[in-house]
Amino acid sequence: MSDQAEVAATAPPEATAAARRTVPVVGMIGAGQLARMTSQAATDLSIGFRVLAASPADSAALVCQGTRVGDYRSADDLAAFAAGCDVVTFDHEQVPAAALAGLARSAAAIRPGPAALRFTQDKRAMREWLTARGIACPEYAPVTTAADTGAFAGRHGWPVVLKAVSGGYDGRGVWVCGDAAEAAAVLAGAAARGIALLAEQHVAFERELAALVARSPAKQGAAYPVVQTVQQDGICREVLAPAPGLAPGRAAEAQHLALRLAAELDVTGLLAVELFETADGLLVNELAMRPHNSGHWTIDGSRTSQFEQHLRAVLNLPLGDPSPTAAAAVMVNVLGGDDDDLHDRLIHVWAADPGVKVHLYGKQVRPGRKVGHVTVAGEDAAALRDRATRAANYISLGTEEP
Amino acid sequence: MSDQAEVAATAPPEATAAARRTVPVVGMIGAGQLARMTSQAATDLSIGFRVLAASPADSAALVCQGTRVGDYRSADDLAAFAAGCDVVTFDHEQVPAAALAGLARSAAAIRPGPAALRFTQDKRAMREWLTARGIACPEYAPVTTAADTGAFAGRHGWPVVLKAVSGGYDGRGVWVCGDAAEAAAVLAGAAARGIALLAEQHVAFERELAALVARSPAKQGAAYPVVQTVQQDGICREVLAPAPGLAPGRAAEAQHLALRLAAELDVTGLLAVELFETADGLLVNELAMRPHNSGHWTIDGSRTSQFEQHLRAVLNLPLGDPSPTAAAAVMVNVLGGDDDDLHDRLIHVWAADPGVKVHLYGKQVRPGRKVGHVTVAGEDAAALRDRATRAANYISLGTEEP
């Protein structure tokens, strides 16, 4: 027999140390939206999950019980954070090599490991590694002077893309220079800040693709469908999954390339390979070893979200089914506009379209900043793109009819 | 130009009071697995979300930043909790009426309201309300003595189901009595504890169904596909979505009934109507006004999970598309077995079946306790049921081949 008093009297002591004995703790360095969405996946697995945040107001820190505040550039802070974790992984690739080395002295497994991460942090090393293996990339050369850059342009033409060898993301640290004068200004600025630069051929691509795969320490691999990404000012605006009209052979080539890179670089966790599709084939643009903007659609459009997949991979658990759950899915990022009241606009978006999935990141709105994304999954890719774009633009700006 | 130092120097002040100005705060009373899964949905909406937990080790308290500890039976604790919320809602129906009345004096909107909630807390009132409207239920009568119960059995036969009028859930507070001696023991126990009882006809149903709908203060309604539930010892073990072979007219009847009840009871949020399907039609068994075990499949099998739908409804936002994303989905609860190491068994389950979605609740394992659930979505309901049952049983017990 049971009544309310009895229910209360037998209320469980819950989640004791014994029950948690074998539950692993994953720590993620960084507390942006990637860590925030990973924390949602960690809840389903009932693992311990911690984030190393710069501030308690960081996107993931706002929702994650296991938030620790510290500096990802400090080897001491990283070591203290890692001491409570079984596995340490990353929401960004900004951790300096010296701090990573400190982390490597902790007992926690670092996944992906520093040897792999290096190729996301040093674009010159990445280009050299790929080129040595005959993997097609844009032409490139390290440059320090106007003469270097001019010689590169002489071989490959203007515009020339100048990139910071380290530290860039979301279009930061990338300058498309139309002529020698623009290049000179970038070179001068970089020299003043001690930033090493790489010149890259400005590729006349047909479109950009991304191949997202996961790999576990047990060497299992899993590949998501290859997607098309649409960038604007260096920031991902849209992802079309799968890439519309992509030849099956080309899609398989991209998946195999990403799985090969993951294996040869000994990646554990996710690897996103950003690609240029050109008339002559695929070129590797960038690598990321973490959940990636090109994979946000998987939350609402795949059996296994990229966030759960990353956790399964770094925990050396069997990888999840990466199959799509709909014929097509379109993700559009919500960028900050002039009005910070995103929530007030949800009513309009959802009244117009009850099937739009909205993910807001809790970040302060600033013009152009990624503050959320929307995904629509279904049958007709063109219609989905229209719906997702309309919803994202309305949340961003509040000026377009929802 | 951007380098790492500059990135750090311009690190966002994040989520200021201004940015949060119009973000509503929803508080959920109770911190079990329903609150835990609602908190995952709240993260996507970037609303404020709080739970009132009995202990920091409660399922939702383990993962929800906005945890407050207090007693749901205390009007003072409820008032203090509600003071920080725009909307208060519930993860269980155990809040005593007196405490609810205290809550109603706060400025927060109570959704569903006390007048509706009463019919989830007082089974006699629920039966009388339904009967007065001609809605088919099992035969029932309040009973206090062996003579009452014997008279009821004389009209409807043994066994007789005795139910606590208030305070039961998951089979607690329900006794199926095969004869007068068994009934007498229950009556004596209830009298000693001051528990009012209802006798109900033991319905020879063909199967159990559940109709889950949402309703908002704006009077919008949305109905999920009707599901079949399989109970064991009064606890939901399996949910088959949609109910296999259910006649379309019967499904529509169940959905319309649930939408009608939601409207006439002025429910805001979710309403789950548990039904018996009999040779003579549908009978209403129980009502719940919160996320419901019969709706867990929606996380992995519907465009809008029941947890997001409940938040949208109580926030008076337009309701989400309740369409399924696959032909069928099967959810099986993971019940505690003799071994508390659930996590260690995930590797076996996922190695055998990478498409099984696992949701663990972080609760201490006790035999028979709901500690998680698995869902499998796809085409063939019988195959899905086999996969989901195998996975759930293996996580529960560790004794069956995964």
Of A166, A323, A364, the CB nearest to B19: A364
Per DSSP, chain B holds a count of helices (H) and strands (E) of: 14, 18
In this structure, the answer to whether residues B283 and B371 fall within a common structural domain is yes
CB contact under 8 A, A13 and B189: no
Residues of A in contact with B372 (CB under 8 A): 46
Q: How far apart are CA A47 and CA A21, in angstroms?
A: 11
- Asked if B259 and B214 count as a contact pair (C-beta separation under 8 A), the reply is no
In this structure, the answer to whether residues A232 and A174 fall within a common structural domain is no
* Chain B residue whose CA is closest to A372: B44
pLDDT exceeds cutoff 50 at B69: yes
In this structure, the answer to whether residues B189 and B268 fall within a common structural domain is no
* Chain B residue whose CA is closest to A72: B8
CB contact under 8 A, B96 and A4: yes
Of A4, A65, A341, the CB nearest to B64: A65
Of B19, B323, B372, the CB nearest to A340: B19
In this structure, the answer to whether residues A24 and A146 fall within a common structural domain is no
B21 falls in which pLDDT band (50, 70, 90)? low
What's the average model confidence in pLDDT over B375-388? 97
* Tokens standing for residue A62: 């706002």
In this structure, the answer to whether residues B343 and B374 fall within a common structural domain is yes
A114 falls in which pLDDT band (50, 70, 90)? very high
CB contact under 8 A, A45 and B343: yes
Residues of A in contact with B325 (CB under 8 A): 325-326, 377
Instruction: State the nearest Cα–Cα gap between A277 and chain B, in angstroms.
Output: 27
pLDDT exceeds cutoff 70 at B368: yes
pLDDT exceeds cutoff 70 at A300: yes
pLDDT exceeds cutoff 60 at A399: no
CB contact under 8 A, B12 and A361: no
CB contact under 8 A, A343 and B22: yes
pLDDT reported for residue A338: 81
pLDDT reported for residue B264: 98
What's the average model confidence in pLDDT over B306-333? 98
In this structure, the answer to whether residues A378 and A320 fall within a common structural domain is yes
pLDDT reported for residue B238: 97
In this structure, the answer to whether residues B185 and B265 fall within a common structural domain is no
pLDDT exceeds cutoff 50 at B101: yes
* Helices B180-193 & B146-156 angle (0-180, nearest 10): 140
Peptide bond into A24 cis (omega under 30): no
Instruction: State the nearest Cα–Cα gap between A281 and chain B, in angstroms.
Output: 31
In A62-195, which residue ranges form alpha helices assigned H by DSSP? 75-83, 97-104, 114-121, 123-132, 146-156, 180-193
In this structure, the answer to whether residues A162 and A309 fall within a common structural domain is no
Least confident of A169-173, A216-220, A259-263, B313-317: A169-173
Structural domains in chain B (count): 3
* Helices A343-352 & A381-397 angle (0-180, nearest 10): 150
Give the residue numbers spanning the domain of A197.
139-201
Highest mean pLDDT (candidates A124-138, B3-17, B330-344): A124-138
What are the distances in angstroms from CA B324 to CA A379, A384, B254, B304? 14, 17, 17, 9
pLDDT reported for residue A347: 93
- Partners of residue B201 on adjacent β-strands: B160
CATH number at residue B293: 3.30.470.20
CB contact under 8 A, A347 and B318: yes
pLDDT exceeds cutoff 70 at B183: yes
pLDDT reported for residue A173: 87
pLDDT exceeds cutoff 80 at A401: no
pLDDT exceeds cutoff 50 at B204: yes
Q: What is the mean pLDDT of chain B?
A: 91
Which of B307, B343, B371, B394 to substitute to test the interface with A, most A CBs within 10 Å?
B343
Instruction: State the nearest Cα–Cα gap between B201 and chain A, in angstroms.
Output: 19
- Partners of residue A48 on adjacent β-strands: A25
CATH number at residue A158: 3.30.1490.20
* Chain A residue whose CA is closest to B185: A1
Share of chain B above pLDDT 90, in %: 84
CATH number at residue B85: 3.40.50.20
How big is the A-B interface in CB pairs under 8 Å?
A: 222
A233 falls in which pLDDT band (50, 70, 90)? confident
In this structure, the answer to whether residues A267 and A188 fall within a common structural domain is no
Helix (H) or strand (E) holding A53: strand A48-53
Q: What is the mean pLDDT of chain A?
A: 91
CB contact under 8 A, A350 and B189: no
Q: Is B182 inside any structural domain? A: yes
ipTM of the complex: 0.92
B170 falls in which pLDDT band (50, 70, 90)? low
CB contact under 8 A, B3 and A62: no
Q: Name the pairing type of β-strands B269-278 and B87-90.
A: unpaired
Which residue among A201, A217, A251 closes a domain?
A: A201
What is the CA B317 to chain-centroid distance, rounded?
21
CB contact under 8 A, B303 and A360: no
SS3 content of chain A, % helix, strand, coil (to 5): 35, 25, 40
In this structure, the answer to whether residues B252 and B360 fall within a common structural domain is yes
Q: Is B116 inside any structural domain? A: no
B6 falls in which pLDDT band (50, 70, 90)? very low
Instruction: State the nearest Cα–Cα gap between B154 and chain A, in angstroms.
Output: 25
Instruction: State the nearest Cα–Cα gap between A2 and chain B, in angstroms.
Output: 5
Which residue among B201, B222, B248 closes a domain?
A: B201
Least confident of A9-23, A213-227, A279-293, B169-183: A9-23
- Asked if B255 and B213 count as a contact pair (C-beta separation under 8 A), the reply is yes
- Asked if A242 and A227 count as a contact pair (C-beta separation under 8 A), the reply is yes
Residues of A in contact with B21 (CB under 8 A): 341
Q: Is B160 inside any structural domain? A: yes
pLDDT reported for residue B233: 83
Q: How far apart are CA A306 and CA A396, in angstroms?
A: 24
Of B4, B300, B369, the CB nearest to A167: B4
pLDDT exceeds cutoff 80 at A250: yes
In this structure, the answer to whether residues A196 and A211 fall within a common structural domain is no
pLDDT reported for residue B70: 97
pLDDT exceeds cutoff 90 at B20: no
Q: Is A25 inside any structural domain? A: yes
Of B62, B63, B317, the CB nearest to A347: B317
Which residue among B68, B92, B110 closes a domain?
A: B110
What's the average model confidence in pLDDT over A370-382? 97
pLDDT greater at residue B167 or residue B166:
B166
Least confident of A186-200, B211-225, B309-323, B336-350: B336-350
Q: Is A316 inside any structural domain? A: yes
Of A21, A54, A166, the CB nearest to B11: A54
pLDDT reported for residue B169: 63
Q: Is A115 inside any structural domain? A: no
* Chain B residue whose CA is closest to A40: B40
Share of chain A above pLDDT 70, in %: 93
Residues 6+ apart with CB under 8 A from B397: B337, B338, B339
pLDDT exceeds cutoff 90 at A201: yes
DSSP letter for A71, please: -
In this structure, the answer to whether residues A177 and A231 fall within a common structural domain is no
Q: Is B126 inside any structural domain? A: no
Contacts 24+ apart (CB under 8 A), B321-325: B321/A354, B321/A355, B321/B222, B322/B214, B322/B222, B322/B223, B322/B224, B322/B225, B322/B298, B323/A355, B324/B225, B324/B241, B324/B242, B325/A325, B325/A326, B325/A377, B325/B301, B325/B377
Segment B228-262, tens digit of pLDDT: 999 988 889 999 999 999 999 999 999 999 999 99
Instruction: Phi first, then psi: give them for residue A170, nearest 5 degrees.
Output: 50, 40
A6 falls in which pLDDT band (50, 70, 90)? very low
Q: How far apart are CA A47 and CA B159, in angstroms?
A: 45
Share of chain A above pLDDT 90, in %: 84
Q: Name the pairing type of β-strands B370-378 and B357-360.
A: antiparallel
CB contact under 8 A, A40 and B36: no
Q: Is A45 inside any structural domain? A: yes
Of A46, A94, A164, the CB nearest to B361: A46
pLDDT reported for residue A397: 77
Q: How far apart are CA B122 and CA B361, in angstroms?
A: 28
Instruction: State the nearest Cα–Cα gap between B254 and chain A, in angstroms.
Output: 23
pLDDT reported for residue A16: 40
B205 falls in which pLDDT band (50, 70, 90)? very high
pLDDT reported for residue A358: 98
A105 falls in which pLDDT band (50, 70, 90)? confident
What's the average model confidence in pLDDT over B179-207? 95
Share of chain B above pLDDT 70, in %: 93
* Chain B residue whose CA is closest to A31: B14
Instruction: State the nearest Cα–Cα gap between A391 and chain B, in angstroms.
Output: 14
Which of A37, A52, A65 to substitute to test the interface with B, most B CBs within 10 Å?
A65
Segment A326-348, tens digit of pLDDT: 999 999 999 998 887 888 889 99
Residues, chain B: 402
Least confident of A268-282, B100-114, B253-267, B294-308: B100-114
Q: How far apart are CA B149 and CA B200, in angstroms?
A: 10
What's the average model confidence in pLDDT over B197-219? 97
